[in-house]
Amino acid sequence: MRKFYGSGYQHICQKTVDNGLIFLSPIDFVVFASIVGQHCFAVGLSVVAFCIMFNHIHLAAAFLTRRQMDAFMNGVISAFARMYNRRYRRGGKLFHRPYQSSAKFTDKKARETIIYINNNPVEKSMVTTARNYRWNFLRYLESPHPFSEPIDLSVASHNLTDLMNEVKIRKFEGKSLNYKMFDVRYHSLTTKEQEQFIDFCVSEYLALDREAILNKYGSIDKMYEALDSVMGSEYDLCDDDGQEDYRHYCKMSEILNDEGYPVDRMRISADNEDFPRLESRFRREAHASDYEIGKYFHR
């Protein structure tokens, strides 16, 4: 039976069923983040940390009951799995069940967990400081467009404004985003507009509770100071502790895109006839290990 303290926070870690990578394009991250945001809005859930990595997610939130926590996670995971499997024409389970959780019932424990979660990408060599990782959403506490230029509606394309309006409607109707929104119209946007649209979507569905986070640290700057001074720790959950460099995964995705296998539209397996040649490039150019290649391709 999970430990549960209604007055504290629960640190949740959810891994993929085979420890393989599923979040490979910004679209995967945004769709999942919107599902989490939509579920948070529906129940008024306070989230103080949220980070999506390539094959697992971390969340720290103030659930009122164990039943609410189970319903929330089952709803989020089931919704995303259905969309993901339809998008990439796969079947079967996507995430490991059950998810892991650990109760953090003091402010000190909560702060340690916030630091640990947000520094996950630093630990995996994705960034040198937590504030520079897009998918822990910290920068969105400061600006609605931290990774792109502000949108000037007077010069924005029709496709961009049309997509933005659709996002607003879906949010108003209590719906998350879906992969269909990132097909023809999205790919017709310029690179600049795609980045603007991604920022817009994240800002609209941002799950983080800014006020609750500020109550823990006093200010955003003080939170950043804490993040930069210590990595944080988690002794109650088994995290993704393999010896790997996440930058290698980014390079492998670049290689696949260059080879005509765009990761925002398809997934290929090790059974693909091009795989031996691709694997050679992964080793030579991405410096990927057997372990990393195995995780990337779910072997």
Q: Is residue 141 scored above 80 in pLDDT?
A: yes
Q: Which of 241, 265, 282 is the last residue of a domain?
A: 241
My answer on whether 199 and 289 are in the same domain is no
- Rounded Cα distance between 39 and 5, Å, is 21
Angle between helices 158-172 and 191-204 (to 10 degrees): 10
What CATH number is given to the structural domain containing 215? 3.30.70.1290
Is-contact 63 5, C-beta < 8 A?
no
My answer on whether 158 and 11 are in the same domain is yes
My answer on whether 134 and 187 are in the same domain is yes
Q: What is the pLDDT of residue 106?
A: 86
- Rounded Cα distance between 220 and 114, Å, is 13
Distances from the Cα of 244 to the Cα of 185, 204, 263, 284, angstroms: 36, 33, 20, 16
Q: pLDDT-based confidence at 3, cuts 50/70/90? A: low
What residue has token string 């998008």?
87
Q: What is the pLDDT of residue 132?
A: 96
Q: Is residue 23 scored above 80 in pLDDT?
A: yes
My answer on whether 94 and 80 are in the same domain is yes
My answer on whether 287 and 155 are in the same domain is no
Q: What is the pLDDT of residue 8?
A: 85
**Tally of domains in the chain:** 2
- Rounded Cα distance between 61 and 124, Å, is 23
Q: Is residue 1 scored above 60 in pLDDT?
A: no
Mean pLDDT of the 42-70 span: 96
Q: By percentage, how much of the chain surpasses pLDDT 70?
A: 95
My answer on whether 48 and 114 are in the same domain is yes
My answer on whether 6 and 128 are in the same domain is yes
Q: Is residue 88 scored above 70 in pLDDT?
A: yes
Mean pLDDT of the 227-256 span: 83
My answer on whether 270 and 194 are in the same domain is no
The b/e string for 39-62 (b: 16+ C-beta within 10 A; e otherwise) is bbeeeebbbbbbbbbbbbbbbbbb
Q: pLDDT-based confidence at 242, cuts 50/70/90? A: low
My answer on whether 164 and 255 are in the same domain is no
My answer on whether 270 and 144 are in the same domain is no
Domain that holds residue 87: 1-241
Q: Is residue 35 scored above 50 in pLDDT?
A: yes
3-state secondary structure at position 81: helix
Q: Shortest CA distance to 138 belongs to which of 80, 74, 222, 196?
A: 222
Mean pLDDT of the 49-69 span: 96
Mean pLDDT of the 231-238 span: 68
Q: What is the pLDDT of residue 111?
A: 92
Q: Which of 224, 241, 258 is the last residue of a domain?
A: 241
Q: What is the DSSP letter of 206?
A: -
My answer on whether 137 and 260 are in the same domain is no
Is-contact 130 245, C-beta < 8 A?
no
Q: pLDDT-based confidence at 238, cuts 50/70/90? A: low
Q: Which of 204, 222, 241 is the last residue of a domain?
A: 241
My answer on whether 164 and 291 are in the same domain is no
